[in-house]
Amino acid sequence: MSEEAPEHWSAGLYEARAAELLLYGRALGLSHAEAQDVLQETFITLLERPVAPSKPGHYAIRTFRNRVLNYRRSMWRRLARELESHRWFEKQPDQTAAAEAAMRHLRELPVEQREVIVLKIWHHYTFEEIGELLETSPNTIAGRYRYGLQKMRNCLKEADYERDEPSGNAIGFLEAAAPVAKP
**112-161 pLDDT tens trace:** 999 999 899 888 899 999 999 999 999 999 999 999 999 988 887 766 55
pLDDT band with cut points at 50, 70 and 90 for residue 169: very low
Please name the residue ranges forming H helices in the chain: 9-27, 32-47, 56-72, 75-84, 97-108, 111-121, 127-134, 138-157, 172-175
In this predicted structure, what is the pLDDT of residue 99? 74
Maximum CA extent, the chain: 67
Tens digit of pLDDT for each residue in 49-84? 888 889 989 999 999 999 998 887 774 656 665 655
User: Residue 90: pLDDT band by 50, 70, 90 thresholds?
Assistant: low
Identity (one letter) of the amino acid at 52? A
Confidence label for 103 from pLDDT (cuts 50, 70 and 90): confident
Asked whether the whole model's pTM tops 0.85, one would answer: no
The pLDDT value recorded for residue 7 is 81
More confident site: 58 or 163: 58
pLDDT for res 71: 84
Q: Nearest CA to 158 among 91, 88, 117, 101?
A: 101
- Count of alpha carbons within 13 angstroms of residue 153, beta-carbon side: 10
Considering only residues 150 and 163, tell me which one the structure prediction assigns the higher pLDDT.
150
Q: What is the dihedral of CA 114, 73, 42, 108, to 10 degrees?
A: 20
What is the pLDDT at residue 81? Answer: 57
Neighbours of 139 (CB within 10 A): 10
User: What is each CA distance from 85 to 74, 81, 82, 108, in whole angstroms?
Assistant: 16, 6, 5, 10
pLDDT band at 87 (very low <50, low <70, confident <90, very high): low
Rounded to the nearest angstrom, the gap between the alpha carbon of residue 63 and the centroid of all alpha carbons in its chain is 14
